[in-house]
Amino acid sequence: MIRLEDAIQQKHFPDVHLKMDINIMFTASWLANIKSRALKEFGISWQQFNILRILKGCHPKAASVRYLAERMIDQTSNASRLVDKLVLKKLVDRNVCPEDRRQVEITLTDHGMQQVGRASLELEGGVKSYLHHLTEEEATQLNALLDKIRI
């Protein structure tokens, strides 16, 4: 276990709430780095993977860019730009909706479906190896506390 104080080389915090805030941000960044390393072999970023997972969840139906943006974990990401990159990698298709030419439909390609499946397994294994120290009860409690922060 690496204590926050040791990781960022800060001995004292003005109060416990500030330490909690920094700890959440530090841990989120730490987990993001683990995920980025796991996704490197697939040539995709965490945000691109998030788009692929959303598309997998609604497969075989198509999704609009707006739908993807609303469901992304990182709400600051530019979903349209991420989709463009995934199109170039042949992981998704972008098609004009026949009923409304102003709307664009995004779907997973067969290659995209295979890649998201393989990447999901890689991520789950990598992240679980770091989170297995928490019991199911502790994980449930942590989820409830994180939800409580966002009231």
Question: Can you give the pLDDT at residue 128?
Answer: 77
Question: Can you give the pLDDT at residue 39?
Answer: 92
- Does residue 88 lie in a domain region? yes
- Does residue 21 lie in a domain region? yes
The domain tally of the chain equals: 1
For 31, the token pair is 């987990």
The parent domain of residue 139 ranges over 15-149
- Does residue 5 lie in a domain region? no
pTM here?
0.85
Q: What CATH number is attached to the domain comprising 24? A: 1.10.10.10
Integer Cα distance of 106 and 93 in angstroms: 6
- CB neighbour list of residue 133: distance below 8 Å, 6 or more residues apart: 1
- Does residue 8 lie in a domain region? no
Q: What is the pLDDT of residues 27-52, one digit of tens each?
A: 999 998 888 888 999 999 999 999 99
Exposure string for 22-51, b = 16+ CB within 10 A, e = fewer: ebeeeeeeeeeebbeebbeebebbbbbbbb
Does residue 126 surpass a pLDDT of 80? Answer: no
